[in-house]
């Protein structure tokens, strides 16, 4: 499977999880998921350049 696609799917999943966590009231866990979504997005963009 394409690395870029895998990281893009992970970024969307982490972002959705973060939004659901924020709505449920879990601030610390939501922030962690947002950081993971950002990292996945970064790796997806980096994989596109290579």
Write down the number of H helices and E strands in the chain.
2, 0
Structure tokens at 35: 């950081």
What does the pLDDT look like over 1-50, one tens digit per residue? Answer: 688 888 888 899 999 999 998 899 888 888 998 999 999 989 888 887 76
Domain ranges of the chain: 3-49
pTM of the model: 0.80
Check residue 25 and report its DSSP letter.
Answer: T
């Amino acid at each position: 499977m394409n690395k870029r696609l895998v990281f893009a799917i992970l970024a969307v999943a982490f972002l959705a999880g973060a939004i659901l966590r924020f709505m449920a009231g879990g601030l610390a866990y939501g922030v962690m998921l947002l950081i993971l979504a950002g990292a996945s997005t970064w790796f997806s963009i980096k994989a596109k350049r290579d």
